[in-house]
Chains A and B, each alone.
Chain A
């Protein structure tokens, strides 16, 4: 039981970093990026082929993958999403849906449906290994990275001039523009940051679990769950959202069997969605 909860919390840190980019994008432009999961998996594949195909070490591959995804973020926001944002909610949502279909099938075409994984030294290591409790090095590492990224992003948003402009844009677009913020460009920055973080999250996911081209769907739902539970647009809330989801998934698996653990996580998400349509921590996160 203790094992389940500790692992669930650590998994939650990983889930939080999957969701935080989606939350940022939702917060600033009210867009739910349906391609978020597939874009993250794209980041995973980029890291993988740099390692396997070119023999680049994992940390360098991860950095290159992040850089590549920054460019992808620029392209998607500048040439696709920004062009339909003023036509209402549906076109923008459907554009990201189209991108999602395109990407997952492109990955399928290139890499085939086989399971893949990113080999790394942490995967089989335990930092703690007793009878009552063992902690996987990879889970702990992901958790730490997740917390650092989220706290760092929170700091940037709260304390810097750039961060203020992002918050202002998400609060009142017209007023932000009147402060001299080019809000279209602010959207681009937000998407670029979101996808940079997604590439990092993708690398962590790929180092922890096996993945395949259609994994994006599963992670989109996890990201969405994290964002919904944490409060749409709240960065710190995603950490809470990730932990709720991670713990409920593993607890569900512990009680009902590991085959249905995702089912439990989905049910928790649906129940929360029905009871608190604005997220569990929606009112608490922004004082």
Chain B
């Protein structure tokens, strides 16, 4: 099963009104791997993520998930196929309790019993969420909110998860904590696509990386083999690839 391609993005073009956000993006993500998209603010990373899960509609190109074409499919349908995303800014349900937030994650589960079982698993992974389960999400700190968003996303036991900017605005010690959890989740078999602004962290936590500059992929390769300095240059658009 390993080494089989799970998500295949081909020649994706996305435009907002007249402004083209990303151009000719192709990605290939193998089952069980962690892939990261590295790029500066506004490079088009979030646009790529949102287009994969159907929030944005592409102008050109295709997205295939487990051999099925999901280009332009409604987000809720894509989610039901086992591909989901934890969006930038966490987007937890502020007016709902932690528990209800998590239960929403398993909205598509067959039964309440299944939901409760999942809930226990998530509480085991993030004990802090159990402690605060009856509080409103709006009372959580930034790091806890990120954990809630991740916990909520894996409540549905997806096959693949996109994580958009999980470390944005968080203290280093909390970021370390979150990445430890991410590693744990991946080891349980979940395929991950990460978006990250921090080059070092990205390369450290992924198997394969794409560097995006001004809406185009300017560099890609196995994370362990990529040279940090070269990636940094590509990130800022200061080398031959730009």
Contact = CB atoms under 8 A, between A and B. Distances in A.
A268 interface: no
Interface size class of A (residues with CB under 8 A): 10 to 19
Contacts of B74: 177, 182
Contacts of A172: 91-94
B242 interface: no
B147 interface: no
B93 A178 contact: no
A176 to B, nearest CB: 7
Contacts of B100: 164, 167
Contact of A168 (B80, B85, B86, B104): B104
Contacts of A167: 93, 95-96, 100
Interface string A140-168: 00000000000000000000010011011
A179 B96 contact: no
A180 B156 contact: yes
A286 interface: yes
B58 interface: no
B107 A181 contact: yes
Pick from B53, B75, B85, B108 the residue with the most CB of A within 10 Å: B75
A168 B76 contact: no
Pick from A171, A176, A181 the residue with the most CB of B within 10 Å: A171
B226 interface: no
Contact of B91 (A161, A165, A175, A183): A175
A281 to B, nearest CB: 15
Pick from B74, B76, B96 the residue with the most CB of A within 10 Å: B76
Nearest to A163: B100
A92 B91 CA distance: 26
A180 B108 contact: yes
Contacts of B119: none
Contacts of B87: 174-175, 178
A169 B157 CA distance: 21
A176 B93 CA distance: 9
B206 interface: no
A228 B140 CA distance: 29
A182 B103 contact: no
A84 to B, nearest CB: 18
Nearest to B155: A179
Given A161-B103, A164-B100, A165-B107, A180 B76 contact: yes
A69 B224 CA distance: 62
Nearest to B100: A164
Given A178-B53, A181-B76, A171 B94 contact: yes
Given A177-B75, A178-B87, A165 B104 contact: yes
A161 B116 CA distance: 12
Contact of A174 (B55, B77, B115, B136): B55
Interface of A: 161, 164-165, 167-168, 171-172, 174-183, 286-287
The 8 closest A-B pairs by CB, nearest first: A175-B91, A180-B79, A180-B108, A182-B76, A177-B75, A171-B93, A179-B107, A179-B104
5 contacts: A168-B96, A175-B87, A177-B74, A178-B79, A179-B105
